[in-house]
Structure 1
């Protein structure tokens, strides 16, 4: 729908479902304060849905601005069925920054709710007063509920920041906050039944459906966070320098059979193709070599089974853990060329070697 401060603002089609639901649900209240509107009752409901999601957008913008303040790139803001999400490239590197990025969203919603609450006494009665009252209530509820201590809610990230600060272990903190999210999911699922038992009033089927949707969202988000934390715990064992293969450098017109023979003789695990300037321009694909019959190898130049080295295939030899995985994810490939800080070749990193090392660390 546009940009805010250079950040793309996206709206999923599921938002239209929310707009329709809001229009239908608040139609009786609108009819009560402004009778006789007819079909315009639902138009007014749709307008309220837009205003509500503009409040959600302000909530997400506050996350984005705080993230930028800490030097974290923000890819986009997306509004969807259950609210919004700010896609940040990377994570805060300290508990304090994690707390700041997380808590600012709910505080923004609470502040918006309080502003509407203060406007309520001076708002003319009727449809406008109803809108201000509902916006105040909705934003206060959004702010408070987002502080529930469980991922994927903002309160879960606040809890994560606290546990991280106390233990010094961000992965343990994520697991704790993830379990908080699972508890919140169970509570959300049981809320309609609990309310019915306490008040004695029957609960609508729609309330159970909404509770199920919210519980599923919380449980899936919390579970994903727990799984991610367990995976990321194992990433520090992945060091590019330790996993690198020694590389044999040959001219591109050398027969494949000769290149393979020399690599075996020199115990090199990979083969690099040199350009006319003497610098590596391509890395030989191990899969392509294995797929080439022995009798054909003397007649095939090594360059025909090599992949040209694009910018994303040059990696620093000192990469370790998560930065290494992110660098590989940006340009998926089977082999990468590892370079020393001065630009000299250290070796070749093979994706299968990384996968095996990760599996052994499980």
Structure 2
């Protein structure tokens, strides 16, 4: 998800990463606190004091976000769910769950853990601000602690909005899932709430823009846009997960794909296979034994004038360079390989025998057909 994120350290076995976009929000928060919030809340201090207050508040705010996501991660791990790490980025922080909860109650407890942590932090910072006041500590310390108490409470309340994929949306999905037993339908309903909230947030941003609150408006529009994309993406991931649950590549592969032998000339390969069938990736087979593959990238390395004198066996990529998969590979693992390597086509192989070919387009086609079946089933069930 965050390909440019840099690992900073590990806490309790969780990798803590920082996306470069975090630098933008860190700078905005520091500037906003140092130039506006703290001078308004505590007038009369020097710019240097405001800057130090802003830096301390920003660091402790993101530490609070980190603890919020750690709470999600710890509960998720307790239920046996895999966590890819925790990443701080432009819009806060995210715990990267590599697997979804299997039961509605697991979903509920993982989702509610973050807001509970934020409420606890709000209470803790509020208590510390009271202690600081009673101990006659510097006013700057009291103001910073009060700000952190307020911002953690706001963070908890915002995340409890029943709009997927916010924590409140996941709590809503858990409740709907528990009632109906249908996680896909529950995800669909929670996603609609998330999309509606995203549009409301962007609408409020546009209203603020016309009222002259430019920075606040842009921020609301950006957050709304992010939530809109995240909600739709999460729903699509859920559909994909349900569709391909317990499916292997042998269920989706194209059996008996077109193959070529090593003695075929490249000119004939282009005329008879590549152009006629619209293929860019062709297995090379001899006597029912898979030797490797030839693709468009290999062809482009050979000058056209040499195609008629060059045979496939002279230039093809061997098995060690050919993307292959055993037939019992789960489709979810295949999708992870596609995302990780960028390779879009794989040969399904058992020993040295070619069983079939599977590509990203096969997965997309199957997903589209499944969506169509679901849509028709739901429409036919309407009164």
TM value normalised by structure 2? 0.71
Quick one: distance in 2 between partners of 1:44 and 1:350? Answer: 54
| 8, 12, 15: which one aligns with 1:2 | 8
1:272-298 Cα distance to aligned partner (Å, 9 max, x none):
457xxx9745234489789999x9888
Quick one: distance in 2 between partners of 1:171 and 1:333? Answer: 29
Quick one: distance in 1 between partners of 2:23 and 2:201? Answer: 25
1:33-56 Cα distance to aligned partner (Å, 9 max, x none):
xx3434322221222111111111
Indicate the residue corresponding to 1:147 in structure 2. Answer: 160
Indicate the residue corresponding to 1:16 in structure 2. Answer: 27
For the pair 1:26 / 2:27, whether they are aligned, the reply is no
Quick one: distance in 2 between partners of 1:355 and 1:231? Answer: 9
The Cα shift of 1:299 comes to 4.9
Indicate the residue corresponding to 1:198 in structure 2. Answer: none
Assess, with a 3 A threshold, how the Cα gap between structure 1 residues 71 and 44 changes in structure 2: closer, same or farther.
Answer: same
- 2:260–2:282 contact (8 Å) kept in structure 1: no
The Cα shift of 1:177 comes to 1.4
For the pair 1:172 / 2:178, whether they are aligned, the reply is no
- 2:39–2:45 contact (8 Å) kept in structure 1: no
Indicate the residue corresponding to 1:215 in structure 2. Answer: 224
Quick one: distance in 2 between partners of 1:351 and 1:194? Answer: 42
1:86-138 Cα distance to aligned partner (Å, 9 max, x none):
22323333333332332211111111112222333322342222222221121
Quick one: distance in 1 between partners of 2:307 and 2:207? Answer: 73
- 1:283–1:335 contact (8 Å) kept in structure 2: no
- 2:206–2:221 contact (8 Å) kept in structure 1: no
| Partner SS for 2:255 | coil
| Partner SS for 2:18 | strand
Quick one: distance in 2 between partners of 1:192 and 1:180? Answer: 18
| 94, 100, 105: which one aligns with 1:91 | 100
The Cα shift of 1:178 comes to 1.4
> What is the CA RMSD across the aligned residues, in angstroms?
4.3
1:132-189 Cα distance to aligned partner (Å, 9 max, x none):
2221121122112211111231211222222233333333222211111123234445
Indicate the residue corresponding to 2:197 in structure 1. Answer: 184
TM value normalised by structure 1? 0.75
The Cα shift of 1:243 comes to 2.5
Stretches of structure 1 lacking an aligned partner (at least 5 in a row): 196-201
The Cα shift of 1:60 comes to 1.7
Stretches of structure 2 lacking an aligned partner (at least 5 in a row): 1-6, 274-280, 373-383
More off after superposition, 345-354 vs 213-222: 345-354
Assess, with a 3 A threshold, how the Cα gap between structure 1 residues 92 and 193 changes in structure 2: closer, same or farther.
Answer: same
Assess, with a 3 A threshold, how the Cα gap between structure 1 residues 131 and 312 changes in structure 2: closer, same or farther.
Answer: farther
- 2:203–2:221 contact (8 Å) kept in structure 1: no
